[in-house]
Amino acid sequence: MNYVALAVHLAYAPAHSGQGVQAFVGPYLGALVGGHRVVDDLIASPQPVEIRTRVAGGGHPYPLVDRTYYSQQLDAGVQAGLGYRAGPLLVQADYSWGLRNLTPPVVDENNNIIAPSGFPSYSRAFQASCAYLWSRNAQPTP
């Protein structure tokens, strides 16, 4: 599942200049933009059959007429991580803990909930990033 996330972090760096080791933590909000899901159907035949489905946001319609996997449109959670800054180079690694159950409820044709969500699912993600920071106050070299 592909979510675009916006995070707000509170960062701490022991050095006043922001150089060296850093730690950060904060909330994030994510919006579903699509994706796909692959599962093995072990019931259809003695051999596992791979089923590929698309991912869409919203409630799970009843009856299910297509092979679409439905997920909540919005996700929210907390991120925490560590980083290291050396001059203009910043390297970070963080982990995200989703706090919202992404399994949607079953809804009828009028979007009325007719059954609560099934097995709960939460997003969990690890990411690493590298950035080059520049200052708008930097003086051009002659």
Local confidence band at 25 (pLDDT 50, 70, 90 cut-offs): very high
Identify the top-confidence range among 57-61, 104-108, 112-116: 104-108
Q: Which residue has better confidence, 128 or 136?
A: 128
Please check the confidence at residue 35 and state whether its pLDDT lies above 80: yes
Rounded CA-CA distance 109/106 in Å is 10
Q: Which pLDDT band, with edges at 50, 70 and 90, does 134 fall under?
A: confident
Sheet holding 68-71, edge to edge: 36-41, 49-57, 68-71
The CA distances from residue 127 to 13, 53, 78, 124, in Å, are 20, 25, 13, 10
CB 1 within 8 A of CB 35: yes
User: How would you classify the pairing of strands 49-57 and 68-71?
Assistant: parallel
Peptide bond between residue 116 and the one before it cis (omega within 30 degrees of 0):
no
Which pLDDT does position 65 carry in this prediction? Answer: 62
Q: How many CA atoms lie within 13 A of 140 on its CB side?
A: 1
Residue 34 confidence class, pLDDT cut points 50, 70, 90: confident
The reported pLDDT for the residue numbered 61 is: 67
pLDDT at 43: 66
Average pLDDT, the chain: 84
Span 37-82, pLDDT tens digits:
777 766 666 666 777 788 888 776 666 667 787 888 999 999 999 9
Domain ranges of the chain: 2-9+33-132
Tokens of 92: 């970070």
Residues 89, 91, 97, 98: what is their CA dihedral angle, to the nearest 10 degrees?
Answer: 50
Residue 142's pLDDT is: 52
Whether this prediction's pTM lies above 0.85 is answered by: no
Rounded Cα–Cα distance for residues 141 and 119 (Å) = 60
